[in-house]
Amino acid sequence: MTLSRRKILAGAALAAPAALAAPSVGRAQEPIRWRFQTYAGAALGEHVTKPIIDAINAAAQGELEIELYYADQIVPTGELFQALQRGTLDAVHSDDDSMASPTPMRVFGGYFPFATKHILDVPVLFNQYGLADIWRAEYEKVGVTWLSAAGQDPCNFNTKKEVTSLADLEGLKLYTFPTAGRFLSQFGVVPVNIPYEDAEVAVQTGELDGMAWSGITEDYTVGWADVTDYFLTNNISGAWIGSIFVNQQRWADLPDHLKELVMAAIKSADTYRNQWYWGGEARLRARGDKLELRSIPPEEWKQVEDAAITFWDEIAQEGEVHQKVVDIFRDYNDVINRAGPPYTF
């Protein structure tokens, strides 16, 4: 009887850890699920955001599953930050300007006039000139984790009306970014704020005269080249500045190996996006058959470039962080202007 009792107790002791471990194995296999919304519509998102999500979902092997939503599908783009902060969304891809960031970074996201000349200026500014530290610190204050910034296309104009002088900008109703619109309004441009997916129809109905929102690659990709006639080769910024943001708690809860996986996927997608835009801008200018190229003479366009210097001074006066970022832009522009081509035009 005693031996039997011992056998029973020993067997129970061996069985107990296995029984206790079983539920935790089940929990470990349950995927972490995120809802991720991008500023881009489906056609553009295929190239600028979806590669990130596809790479994460493939490499995570079921540990992390991210569902991608395109522009305005869950919340309007202007509410992306609020949705991220309160946890309605777990992560977003956007520029600070479009998502109405409550930080000083808002005015610098998207297209800050003449801050950049090429797509690679953005990672250089963030990784070599200190913008990454500023962005990370400012978003930490408001409960959001900033992960990474990357460049995209320049901010040119595609219009129904032919533009060959500054006078031709007068009265043009253009879909553009808040800060870009604020800057362009001094030249008579009328900025129009509507949902991204409505822009094409708005040109067809006459609500818009065109867009100051992208380079020529996006014009062809999203259908804007089908409803406008001209592409102005002058731009007000050489590269869009956009970032990946995550709800602070969701990022903190993510295991370290999945954090590394997410960052690797972002960097991989940055490489794809760089060549897609850089090659597309050249090929479609040279061989595109939908938009006729037009230019404002350099000596006249210099008025716009000079106005940007005044604009920078105004922005720098808005706060300590604004001053710090403007100083970085000034420092970098001094370097590339001294370096000359190919860093400058």
Q: What is the pLDDT of residues 282-323, one digit of tens each?
A: 999 999 999 999 999 999 999 999 999 999 999 999 999 999
**Helix locations, the chain, DSSP H:** 2-29, 42-48, 50-59, 80-86, 121-127, 131-140, 178-184, 199-205, 216-222, 248-253, 256-287, 298-316, 320-339
The single-letter code of the amino acid at 185 is: S
* Co-location of 208 and 121 in the same domain: no
Residue 46 structural domain: 31-152+239-286
Least confident stretch, 6-15, 87-96, 241-250: 6-15
* Co-location of 191 and 259 in the same domain: no
Q: For the chain, what is the mean pLDDT?
A: 93
* Co-location of 307 and 166 in the same domain: yes
* Co-location of 191 and 90 in the same domain: no
* Co-location of 160 and 270 in the same domain: no
* Co-location of 76 and 88 in the same domain: yes
Reported as a single tens digit per residue, the pLDDT across 39-71 is 999 999 999 999 999 999 999 999 999 999 999
- pLDDT at residue 264 in the model: 98
Coil, strand, or helix at residue 333? helix
Total count of domains within the chain: 2
Look up the pTM and report it.
0.89
Do the domain assignments include residue 14? no
pLDDT band at 328 (very low <50, low <70, confident <90, very high): very high
* Co-location of 116 and 194 in the same domain: no
Q: Pairing mode, if any, of strands 241-247 and 144-151?
A: antiparallel
Peptide bond between residue 51 and the one before it cis (omega within 30 degrees of 0): no
Q: Rounded to an integer, what distance in angstroms lies between the CA atom of residue 71 and that of residue 80? A: 10
Q: Pairing mode, if any, of strands 32-38 and 64-69?
A: parallel
- pLDDT at residue 2 in the model: 43
Do the domain assignments include residue 322? yes
- Could you tell me how far CA 156 lies from the centroid of its own chain? 17
Do the domain assignments include residue 259? yes
Distances (CA, A) of 179 to 41, 46, 95, 175, 183: 21, 26, 11, 12, 6
- pLDDT at residue 79 in the model: 97
* Co-location of 105 and 220 in the same domain: no
Do the domain assignments include residue 78? yes
Residue whose structure tokens are 């296995």: 18
Task: Identify which has the larger pLDDT, 25 or 250.
Answer: 250
* Co-location of 145 and 165 in the same domain: no
Do the domain assignments include residue 307? yes
Q: Rounded to an integer, what distance in angstroms lies between the CA atom of residue 113 and that of residue 68? A: 30
* Co-location of 228 and 324 in the same domain: yes
- pLDDT at residue 345 in the model: 77
- Count of C-beta atoms within a 10 Å radius of residue 246: 23
* Co-location of 95 and 244 in the same domain: yes
**φ, ψ for residue 96, nearest 5 deg:** -60, -35
**φ, ψ for residue 313, nearest 5 deg:** -60, -40
Percent above pLDDT 70 for the chain:
92
Sheet containing 91-94: give its strands across. Answer: 64-69, 32-38, 91-94, 241-247, 144-151
Mean pLDDT of 261-271: 97
At 47, list the tokens: 């190239």
The enclosing domain of 62 has a CATH number of 3.40.190.170
CA 128-133-139 angle, 5° bins: 145
* Co-location of 192 and 300 in the same domain: yes
Do the domain assignments include residue 21? no
Do the domain assignments include residue 345? no
- pLDDT at residue 28 in the model: 54
Reported as a single tens digit per residue, the pLDDT across 215-257 is 999 999 999 999 999 999 999 999 999 999 999 999 999 999 9
